[in-house]
Amino acid sequence: MTDYGEEQRNELEALESIYPDSFTVLSENPPSFTITVTSEAGENDETVQTTLKFTYSEKYPDEAPLYEIFSQENLEDNDVSDILKLLALQAEENLGMVMIFTLVTAVQEKLNEIVDQIKTRREEEKKQKEKEAEEAEKQLFHGTPVTIENFLSWKAKFDAELLEIKKKRMKEEEQAGKNKLSGKQLFETDHNLDTSDIQFLEDAGNNVEVDESLFQEMDDLELEDDDDDPDYNPADPESDLTD
């Protein structure tokens, strides 16, 4: 007959020796305890961690122990789910043998894989961002390659915009034509227009300045009086030529 209590006590002593800093007893009846498992340090010294809680069943190790994720750090929900599935598989494969060390070791390896996956995922994200930045830079300097499809799309948009501009211009010109008054309409609108030219001339005449220095005084001019010439005959044009 198997002494389950003895096997359980022996395993507890061994676990306390293997995990002195992470093994904690929660209760003695039924035997319940936790073991904290931490991954190896990843990029930037980042780690993932989980604390596993185990409780012996009455017939352990012929029956699987009860287990759960007591706490965790930096794990996604899918990571927690994967760890629980791993524990179920390992417990089934190791029935009949004390198995806590085996279960904890399997979880330790799983956490290391998760850290590696985080590192790989971050490297891929970095490469993707660098690729997107490179593509954006190429796009900035080289523009979009012209194809028949995008050219036709651009032309249709350009023609539509040009048509709208023409319509707007025609409408503005039509409106400007309606608002333009004829000469008759201008005079009918403003009665001062018929006297504006006359007033302008009068104002200009009043402001005309004459430079008198341009003219000599009549007294300074030496004029010959034809009446003093005895031979002058007004009726004879040649009389002036005889002198």
pLDDT, tens digit, 9 for 90 and up, residues 136-186: 777 776 666 778 888 888 889 999 999 999 999 888 888 877 666 666 665
* Domains of the chain listed by start with CATH number: 4-115 (3.10.110.10)
Rg, Å, the chain Cα set: 58
Q: At what angle do helices 100-142 and 77-93 cross, to 10 degrees?
A: 150
Please state the rounded mean pLDDT for residues 23-29.
94
Question: What are the pLDDT digits (tens) for 207-216?
Answer: 556 556 655 5
pTM of this structure: 0.53
Q: How far apart are CA 223 and CA 11, in angstroms?
A: 157
Determine which of 58-72, 89-103, 119-133 has the lowest per-residue pLDDT on average: 119-133
Calpha distance 17→23 (Å, rounded): 9
Q: What pLDDT shows up at residue 78?
A: 92
Distance CA 34, CA 31 (A): 11
Which segment, 42-51, 74-83, 190-199, is predicted with the most confidence on average? 74-83
Predicted local distance difference test score (pLDDT) of residue 43: 65
Asked if 98 and 7 touch (Cβ cutoff 8 Å), the reply is: yes
Contacts of 97 (CB under 8 A, 6+ apart): 61
Q: Which residue has the higher pLDDT, 226 or 161?
A: 161
| Strands 23-28 vs 31-38: parallel, antiparallel or unpaired | antiparallel
pLDDT at residue number 228: 56
More confident residue, 240 or 185: 185
**CA dihedral of 119, 124, 127, 132, whole degrees rounded to 10:** -140
